[in-house]
């Protein structure tokens, strides 16, 4: 059977498609004599006007100048350096009172809040932000940073109660001053919240969480928390003097001794008779333990007081810790073995820095300690003057070897 051959048709041709390979081909130049040759490109759009930036006064890194802080240079209502210093101290006492007694925060968290507060007002003026609202935001942020967070509602409520009691005390003091014919403002009228009664005493004042005042405070504190974070450059890890001073005391305890043992007559009498018999002498181990505890505890107290000043902006935590140990030793009657000068044990701090830090802490502590500590503080100032005089007589090379 004959089969016809099948017609094999060739497949249809696929039209060529231009494929964009990503290469750039410049456009063909315009023909000579055409209008496109002489057409100029349109001018670029005008640049937007520069944004007005409010200049901030940076804190000097080499030396701290209280005359160049934002609150002092603020216009049109500048503060004096002394008023700026007092505002820091009073608000830090408020932070300490609210943090420890009302919010039950750890001591480290309260100190972190104080450092946040000092750093914030090193870049901002007190005239721009309410310092008590900034203190609330610092406490809120420090609680989160030190792993002891508190609810925003609790922080606002407790701080509001504390501030309200302070305002009531100021009003009462002013009224009492006028009734006594003082003719001026009573010193109690500017008393800081740190001197107010215990937060456990209630006066019936409560902040309603549904009120407009609470809503305004909540928004304001949350906004200030973000502003604080940007101001401090998100540096949330804070070094405090506590660790350094404890390590130093433990390291140098074998090189320390009591300057003198108290005499029996200095311990007082019982019922007007003979002084009580002296306690049995302690062995070396017990004596070292007692001395270390006393030295460290007083140094801790001085470190807590330093948080009310701007020392954290001027010196490192280690330098502040060494100064607190020195003040504690002089205050407690503890000295290096062999009556050596303290500066020989304090590695890493100069006599000038030791003197400056000590004076700032003593200026804060001495009025509060009263007459009982006046003699001890006079001896500390005398010792600082003697160390400064000896250092000033040394050549520069010997001075560096002595203090470093």
Q: What residue ranges do the domains of the chain occupy? A: 66-231, 241-260+283-403
Q: What is the pLDDT, as a whole number, of residue 392?
A: 67
pLDDT: is 89 or 42 the higher one? 89
Sign of CA pseudo-dihedral 283, 288, 293, 298: positive
Average pLDDT, the chain: 78
pLDDT, tens only, 289-339:
888 999 999 999 999 999 999 999 999 999 999 999 999 999 999 999 988
As a whole-number percent, the residues of the chain with pLDDT over 90 amount to 50
Yes or no: say if 323 and 361 are a contact pair by the CB < 8 Å rule: yes
- Quote the CA–CA distance of 199 and 165 in Å, as a whole number: 9
Over residues 359-386, the mean pLDDT reads 83
Confidence of residue 398 (pLDDT cuts 50, 70, 90): very low
DSSP annotation of 145 reads H
Q: Which two tokens stand for residue 398?
A: 């010997």
Name the 3-class secondary structure at 335: strand
Cα-based distances in Å from 332 to 282, 297, 299, 369: 18, 10, 10, 14
pTM: 0.72
- More confident: 2 or 115: 115
> Is the model more confident about 18 or about 356?
356
CATH class for the region spanning 241-260+283-403: mainly alpha
Same fold, 66-231 and 241-260+283-403: yes
User: How large is the angle between the packed helices 284-306 and 241-252, nearest 10 degrees?
Assistant: 160
Give the pLDDT band (50/70/90) at residue 225.
very high
> What's the sign of the alpha-carbon dihedral 367, 372, 374, 376?
negative
Q: Is 138 or 271 the better-scoring residue by pLDDT?
A: 138
Q: What is the second-level CATH architecture of the domain 66-231?
A: Orthogonal Bundle (1.10)
Q: For 3-58, what is each residue's pLDDT tens digit?
A: 555 555 555 554 554 545 555 555 555 555 555 445 566 676 666 555 444 333 33
User: What is the pLDDT averaged over residues 177-185?
Assistant: 59
pLDDT-derived band at 386 (thresholds 50, 70, 90) equals confident
What DSSP assignment string belongs to 211-263?
SHHHHHHHHHHHHHHHHHHHHTTT------HHHHHHHHHHHHGGGEEES-PPP
Given this model, what pLDDT does residue 32 score? 53
């Amino acid at each position: 059977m004959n089969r016809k051959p099948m017609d094999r048709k060739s497949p249809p041709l696929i039209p060529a498609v231009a494929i964009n390979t990503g290469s750039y081909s410049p456009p063909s130049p315009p023909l000579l004599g055409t209008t496109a040759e002489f057409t100029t490109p349109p001018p670029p759009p005008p640049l937007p006007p520069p944004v007005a930036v409010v200049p901030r006064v940076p804190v000097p890194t080499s030396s701290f100048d209280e005359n160049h802080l934002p609150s002092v240079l603020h216009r049109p209502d500048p503060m004096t350096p002394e008023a700026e210093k007092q505002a820091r101290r009073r608000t830090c006492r408020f932070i300490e009172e609210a943090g420890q007694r009302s919010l039950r925060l750890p001591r480290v968290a309260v100190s972190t809040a104080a450092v946040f507060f000092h750093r914030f007002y090193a870049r901002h003026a007190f005239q721009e932000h309410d310092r008590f609202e900034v203190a609330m935001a610092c406490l809120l942020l420090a609680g989160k940073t030190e792993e002891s967070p508190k609810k925003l509602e609790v922080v606002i409520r407790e701080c509001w109660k504390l501030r309200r009691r302070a305002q009531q005390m100021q009003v009462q003091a002013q009224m009492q001053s006028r009734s006594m014919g003082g003719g001026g403002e009573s010193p109690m009228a500017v008393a800081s919240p740190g001197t107010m009664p215990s937060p456990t005493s209630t006066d019936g004042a409560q902040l309603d969480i549904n009120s407009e005042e609470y809503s305004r405070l909540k928004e304001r504190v949350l906004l200030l928390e973000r502003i604080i974070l940007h101001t401090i450059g998100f540096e949330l890890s804070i070094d405090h003097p506590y660790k350094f001073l404890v390590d130093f005391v433990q390291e140098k305890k074998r090189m320390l001794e009591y300057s003198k043992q108290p005499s029996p007559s200095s311990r007082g009498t019982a019922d007007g008779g003979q002084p009580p018999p002296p306690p049995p002498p302690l062995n070396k181990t017990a004596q070292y333990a007692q001395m270390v505890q006393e030295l460290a505890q007083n140094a801790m107290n001085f470190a807590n007081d330093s948080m009310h000043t701007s020392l954290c902006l001027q010196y490192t935590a280690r330098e502040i810790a060494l100064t607190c140990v020195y003040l504690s030793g002089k205050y407690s009657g503890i000295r290096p073995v062999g009556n050596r000068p303290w500066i020989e044990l304090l590695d890493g701090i100069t006599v000038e820095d030791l003197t400056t830090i000590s004076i700032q802490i003593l200026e804060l502590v001495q009025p509060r300690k009263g007459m009982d500590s006046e003699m001890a503080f006079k001896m500390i100032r005398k010792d600082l003057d003697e160390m400064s005089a000896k250092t000033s007589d040394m050549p520069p090379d010997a001075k560096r070897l002595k203090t470093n």
